[in-house]
Amino acid sequence: MKRVLEGSQAVAEAVRLARVQVVSAYPITPQTHIVEFLSEYCASGTMNARFLRVESEHSCMAALIGAQSAGVRTFTATSGQGLALMHELLHWAAGARLPIVMAEVNRALAPGWNIWVDQTDSLAQRDTGWIQFYCEDGQEVIDTTLQAYRLAESVALPAMVVLDAFFLSHTYEPVDVPEQEEADRFLPPYEARFQLDTAAPCSFGPLVPPAVYMEMRHDIAKAMETALSRFPGIENEYAAVFGRRYGVVEAIRCEDAEIVFVTSGTVTSTARSLLENLRSRGERLGILKIRLFRPFPVEAVRRALGGAAKVAVIDRNFSFGASGIFAQEVRAALCNAPGHPPVFGFVAGIGGRDVTPELLEEIYWKTKNSDAPEKESVWIGLQEV
């Protein structure tokens, strides 16, 4: 059924449809409406779930690790500083192979305090062993959340569904909300492979010596590979029920493109409108939207960018001392591909600053008019200070 929903509520609706049994959250800023909706669903009985209000994001993830270990499907949402506080336990969740799903609303990190969009918070967690999806709109949010449960549970790894603060979390859009039976058809009940059992007590995660630890980590690396190979099949099943498909990446008119923008999140939508504009003026722009960031879809990226003359990566994030993080990943994906195009990195929209069509057009012309990148990342739209 089509409804006009805030991005936050789209997440909450997907969590409801996934029949999540335990929701844990720390309710203070930078938290979003997501858990506000969920707490109401839990209180009203719309969801048959326990809502655990904890005293910090660290405790929140600890509570979910406990709940998921007991064999139930779990969820939380967080942002910015909250995600940073969870860091230690993000590793634990992945190491314990617990398919926890989290919505992470991208917010810039303090100081100075800033609750607006910036991907640095989630990208700082890229090495924790969590699957990461970046969403473009409300429909994609609801669909991705349901898919995230399927994928996470099939490879026993946790998954993060990432959405831009305000531009997506607080924006109302028409969203087709699946019916419960349809959702159930796509997403079967969670069955834990290892689960706490009071009848046969055991403890998880005891001391593991060097002789074994490396193999455990290799298993996680393999599970990430499996996630990448399995996701198209899951999307096929999803498309069979709902008729919608997004791919691990979306290549938009890349076949004949001279310059390809690499984007993620809501910037993609702005780039789409620029693309129409430039194409109508004879410019050959393409867009590669990266939806699945972990595992990183190296082959799909290589395929989409292989024919371009130049690549411009738009990063709403920055790794200080290096460059925009998507740009790093794209360069790493391409560097072993013979004859790959040069990669221009651009940093834009940090801390919630608007990334306008004009700004993107500036990036286009800068790329087009430069033979080679002047540096790893160029900051676009800086004011004189």
Partner 1 sequence: MVEKAQARAESENPIRIMPRSTRSTEGNKTGSWRYLRPRYEEKTAPCSAACPAGEDIGKVEMLTSQGLFKEAWETILRENPFPGVCGRVCFHPCEGSCNRGEFDDPIAIRAVERFLADTAERYDLKPLLERLPARPEKIAVAGAGPSGLAAAWFLTQLGYACDVFEASPEAGGILRWGIPLYRLPLAALQHEIARIEAQGVRIHTGRPVTPGFLRDLETSYSAVYLACGHGRTTALRVPGEELDGVGDGLAFLERIRRGETPDVRGMSVIIGGGNTAVDVARSIVRLGGEALILYRRRRKDMPAFGDEVQMALEEGVKLEELVAPERIEKDGGRIRITLRHMRIAGEEGGRGRIEPDGDRTSRVVAERLFKATGAEAGEAWYNPPPAGKGTVALSHCALSLREGRPALARGGDLTNGIKSVAHAIASGKQAAIALDTLFREGADSILSRLEACTVGVGPSLSMEIHMGGERRLRNRHVVVYGEINTDYFRYAPRMTQPRLVRAERARSFAEIDLRVSGNIAMREAERCFNCGLCDQCDNCHLFCPDLAVLRGKEGLGRSINYDYCKGCGLCVVECPRNAMTLEEEDR
Q: Which residues bind partner 1 (CB under 8 A)?
A: 97, 154-156, 188-189, 191, 193-194, 200-208, 212, 215-216, 219, 222-223, 226, 230
Q: Which is nearer to partner 1, 219 or 358 (CB)?
A: 219
Give me the least distance between CB of 281 and partner 1, in Å please.
48
Cα(274)–Cα(166) distance, integer angstroms? 21
Amino acid at 128: T
Q: How many CB atoms lie within 10 A of CB 250?
A: 19
Give me the least distance between CB of 207 and partner 1, in Å please.
8
Give me the least distance between CB of 215 and partner 1, in Å please.
6
Cα(229)–Cα(240) distance, integer angstroms? 18
User: Does the CA dihedral 223-147-8-286 come out positive or negative?
Assistant: positive
Cα(115)–Cα(284) distance, integer angstroms? 36
Give me the least distance between CB of 364 and partner 1, in Å please.
41
Q: How many CB atoms lie within 10 A of CB 232?
A: 13
Amino acid at 294: R
Q: Which is nearer to partner 1, 117 or 148 (CB)?
A: 148
Give me the least distance between CB of 206 and partner 1, in Å please.
5
Amino acid at 88: E
Task: Give the position of tokens 């991005």.
Answer: 7
Give me the least distance between CB of 203 and partner 1, in Å please.
5
Give me the least distance between CB of 150 and partner 1, in Å please.
8
Two structure tokens written together for 39: 């707490």
Cβ atoms of 122 and 106 within 8 Å: the answer is yes
Q: Which is nearer to partner 1, 45 or 210 (CB)?
A: 210
Q: Which is nearer to partner 1, 159 or 312 (CB)?
A: 159
Q: 52: part of which helix (H) or strand (E)?
A: strand 50-53
Two structure tokens written together for 330: 């794209």
Q: Which is nearer to partner 1, 218 or 245 (CB)?
A: 218
Two structure tokens written together for 47: 């969801």
Q: Which is nearer to partner 1, 172 or 194 (CB)?
A: 194
Amino acid at 307: G
Q: 334: part of which helix (H) or strand (E)?
A: helix 325-334
Amino acid at 219: D
Q: Which is nearer to partner 1, 39 or 154 (CB)?
A: 154
Q: Report H helices in 117-176.
A: 120-123, 138-155
Cα(176)–Cα(80) distance, integer angstroms? 28
Two structure tokens written together for 267: 């910037």
Q: Which is nearer to partner 1, 193 or 375 (CB)?
A: 193
Q: Which is nearer to partner 1, 202 or 335 (CB)?
A: 202
CA distances from 209 to 91, 92, 106, 160, 304 (A): 18, 17, 37, 30, 43
Q: Which is nearer to partner 1, 234 or 285 (CB)?
A: 234
Give me the least distance between CB of 229 and partner 1, in Å please.
8
Give me the least distance between CB of 191 and partner 1, in Å please.
6
Give me the least distance between CB of 61 and partner 1, in Å please.
19
